[in-house]
Amino acid sequence: MADRVVEVPQYEVAEQVTVDPHRTALLIVDMQNDFVKEGGKLVVPTAKLTIPPLRHLLELARQSGMTVAYTQDSHLPGDPEFELFGEHCLVGTPGWEVIEELVPQAGELVYQKRRYDGFYGTSLEHDLRVRGIDTLIIGGTVANICVLHTAGSAALRWFKVIVPRDAISALTEFDLESALRQVHFLYRGTITGSGCISVKS
């Protein structure tokens, strides 16, 4: 098939988003050594560029008392996902660890997940509900895989979804843009920048 050029349909990018820190959680998806660091098993080259925006969001969340949660892609030997992507994020290996720049602090929530969706097979929904959280700021990698599935799964449960576009990464620009289009159009999420989010005092 000949190469085709498609235009990304317009989606809105919000210049200012204000959240209630008591009803909002920052969810950092799969920022693990295998995906982010040179020599990792499944590196997304642009993922390292999202570290400063994610650190900024972490600071905002920690200072304002927002819930901070992480997903950690976690596979056991022989996981069928390895047939699709090769071995990665094997539980207990250095590649499986969250990168040191974003390391979770005591009391923050970490969800080991087997598949793309952070809600699948984890207590994430329960833990958000009991905290009265209705809004998720989602960043991390990979934009069109684990970020998108987790954002979609959140939206299906009627959580409001905010995705700062400088805090996500994908293997191609197409993958990133199509994920954002899907979040905006299908899940009615808010696309913004990491510096455009402020907290209600």
Residues at the interface with Zn ion (CB under 5 A): 73, 81
Q: Which residue is nearest to Zn ion (CB)?
A: 73
Least distance between Zn ion and beta carbon 72 (Å): 10
Which residue from 55, 36, 53 is spatially nearest to 44, judged by alpha carbons? 36
Provide the 3-class DSSP secondary structure of residue 6.
Answer: coil
Least distance between Zn ion and beta carbon 88 (Å): 6
Least distance between Zn ion and beta carbon 73 (Å): 4
Query: Which one, 81 or 125, has the nearer CB to Zn ion?
Result: 81
Count of other CB atoms within 10 angstroms of residue 77: 8
Q: What is the DSSP letter of 157?
A: T
Query: Which one, 87 or 134, has the nearer CB to Zn ion?
Result: 87
Query: Which one, 81 or 97, has the nearer CB to Zn ion?
Result: 81
Least distance between Zn ion and beta carbon 79 (Å): 8
Give the DSSP letter string of 161-200.
EEEEGGGEE-SSHHHHHHHHHHHHHTS--EEE-GGGEEE-
CA distance linking residue 195 with residue 192, whole number of Å = 8
Query: Which one, 30 or 166, has the nearer CB to Zn ion?
Result: 30
